[in-house]
Amino acid sequence: MRAVNLIAHNEVTLLESGVELFPAMIAAIEDAQYDIYFETYIFADDDTGRAVEGALIKAAQRGVKVRVVTDWWGTGNQQCKRLRDAFVEGGVHFRAFNSWFRRGVARTHRKVTVVDRTVAFVGGININDDWFCDYDARKRLPAPRWDFAVQVVGPLVSTIHHEAQAQWARVGRLGLMKRINLFREMRKQPLPDSDKPVQAAFVVRDSLRNRHTIQRAYLQAIGRAKKSVLLVNPYFAPGHKFRKALAVAGQRGVEVQLLIGVGEIWLQDMVARSFYPKLLASGVKVYEYRKTQLHAKVAVVDDDWSTVGSSNCDGLSLFLNQEANIVVKDEAFAQTMREHILEGIGDAVPVLAEEFEHVSWIRRSGYEAAYFLYKMTMRIFAIGYA
């Protein structure tokens, strides 16, 4: 199993929800001098989206080369059209990923911004208001959506920039000369530097060379865990290998705590609950987060391994969609992430084993039927899910 390629001497700052991400991101865009690569799943037509859109257009109008990719399905056809018109008028280059499913069913679920190859933002946060639901912009949440991203400064940014540039080329149809010009632009820009010792890696999932990279990173970390595993995910429906890794860790005495978002999609909740009995029997502690919409995809293993990104622990993210995570090997960062997760667990409802011992056969059968339907669907569209 290939190891994650960690790069040293980075500064990685954890950002909680849009209230911390968007000011930092807009400030970086406003300081841009060379180019901006910007990729997101949802780019909403709300105050938050308009603020980011305006910053990108202003950057382009002062000579920065701005390239934006949004997912056609996540952002919506009408909003993609509106963005295209506004961006073209403002000098921003825009592309919608996989319009009308012309390249199959896979989506880009990544949230990646790179400015001047000196600072990058990676995480799970879409470009939309924290107070409104992802799947219904008219539905106000009881509390701000809970999510995370990171700001990265240092040598790793060059790797993120290269992948963002490659994604731009993949989404469009570039001739040889345009590809050469893109490469020249990359070489002109200054390399970032940092006095921080943090080791970090940029881990992506695609359907070519990186089909299982993100799951592999999780499995390596969980398999090596000696003390604890803290895992937060809104849509928990991984394959057998992932569930087994969590169960085995719990059986060998590792404290495994799983925080799952519920209340959005009833079928998704039923699939996740079909896994509870075996996980609980293995010593895994399960919590359901009901305070507001949980959108965070984060984890901490032992004292120094963490990940923040866009990848859910389900068939779509681990085996089909394009995703991007940051893996951080650093005790201070892990401690900060741990404190946030434990706070979330404090706001959650623990799932007790005895509750599932008395679940009616009708409900239990419903859970199993939901998982069977999900598994069959994933086997059709997501090669490798089992």
HEC profile for 177-230? Answer: HHHHHHHHHHHHCCCCCCCCCEEEEEEEECCCCCCCHHHHHHHHHHHHCCCEEE
Does residue 288 belong to any structural domain of this protein?
yes
Does residue 386 belong to any structural domain of this protein?
no
Q: Indicate the pTM of the whole model.
A: 0.94
Tell me if residue 302 is catalytic. Answer: yes
Tell me if residue 109 is catalytic. Answer: yes
Same domain assignment for residues 158 and 241: no
What digits encode the pLDDT tens for the residues 106-143? 999 999 999 999 999 999 999 999 999 998 888 999 99
Does residue 4 belong to any structural domain of this protein?
no
Q: DSSP readout, 123-179? A: ES--BS-TTB-SS-TT-B-SSPPB-EEEEEESTHHHHHHHHHHHHHHHHS---HHHH
* Of 58, 161, 295, 340, catalytic: 295
Same domain assignment for residues 34 and 117: yes
CA gap 278, 298 in Å, rounded? 22
- Provide the pLDDT for residue 170: 93
Same domain assignment for residues 358 and 221: yes
Model confidence at 384, in pLDDT bands (50, 70, 90)? confident
Q: How many percent of the chain have pLDDT more than 90?
A: 84
Q: Name the residue among 268, 271, 272 with its Cα closest to residue 258.
A: 272
User: Where are any strands of DSSP class E within 272-356?
Assistant: 285-289, 298-301, 305-309, 323-329, 349-351
Does residue 47 belong to any structural domain of this protein?
yes
- Provide the pLDDT for residue 64: 98
Same domain assignment for residues 332 and 220: yes
Same domain assignment for residues 225 and 158: no
Same domain assignment for residues 307 and 214: yes
Tell me if residue 116 is catalytic. Answer: yes
Same domain assignment for residues 104 and 236: no
- Provide the pLDDT for residue 136: 86
Same domain assignment for residues 230 and 358: yes
Average pLDDT, the chain: 93
The residue-averaged pLDDT of 190-205 equals: 77
CATH number at residue 326: 3.30.870.10
* Of 111, 161, 340, 375, catalytic: 111
* Of 58, 297, 340, 375, catalytic: 297
* Of 58, 109, 340, 375, catalytic: 109
Same domain assignment for residues 227 and 175: no
* Of 302, 304, 329, 347, catalytic: 302
Tell me if residue 111 is catalytic. Answer: yes
* Of 35, 58, 71, 116, catalytic: 116
Model confidence at 361, in pLDDT bands (50, 70, 90)? confident
Tell me if residue 45 is catalytic. Answer: no
Sign of dihedral through CA atoms 158, 159, 163, 164?
A: negative
Domain count, the chain: 2
Same domain assignment for residues 295 and 377: yes
Token pair belonging to 216: 């592999």
Q: Say which residue, 374 or 359, is predicted with more confidence.
A: 374
Q: Say if residue 213's pLDDT is above 80.
A: yes
Does residue 3 belong to any structural domain of this protein?
no
Q: At what angle do helices 213-224 and 240-251 cross, to 10 degrees?
A: 10
- Provide the pLDDT for residue 196: 66
Does residue 5 belong to any structural domain of this protein?
no
Which of 144, 166, 200 terminates a domain? The answer is 200
Same domain assignment for residues 300 and 358: yes
Does residue 42 belong to any structural domain of this protein?
yes
How far CA 56 is from CA of 59, 92, 115, 208, 353, in Å, comes to 5, 7, 11, 31, 50
Does residue 1 belong to any structural domain of this protein?
no
Tell me if residue 340 is catalytic. Answer: no
Which of 135, 168, 200 terminates a domain? The answer is 200
Which of 153, 183, 200 terminates a domain? The answer is 200
Which range of residues forms the domain containing residue 110?
A: 10-200
Q: Supply φ then ψ for residue 127, to 5 degrees.
A: -90, 80
- Which has the minimum average pLDDT: 79-93, 199-213, 225-239, 310-324? 199-213
Model confidence at 66, in pLDDT bands (50, 70, 90)? very high
- Provide the pLDDT for residue 179: 53
How far CA 333 is from CA of 114, 130, 195, 305, in Å, comes to 21, 24, 15, 9
- Which has the minimum average pLDDT: 109-123, 176-190, 304-318? 176-190
Same domain assignment for residues 45 and 176: yes
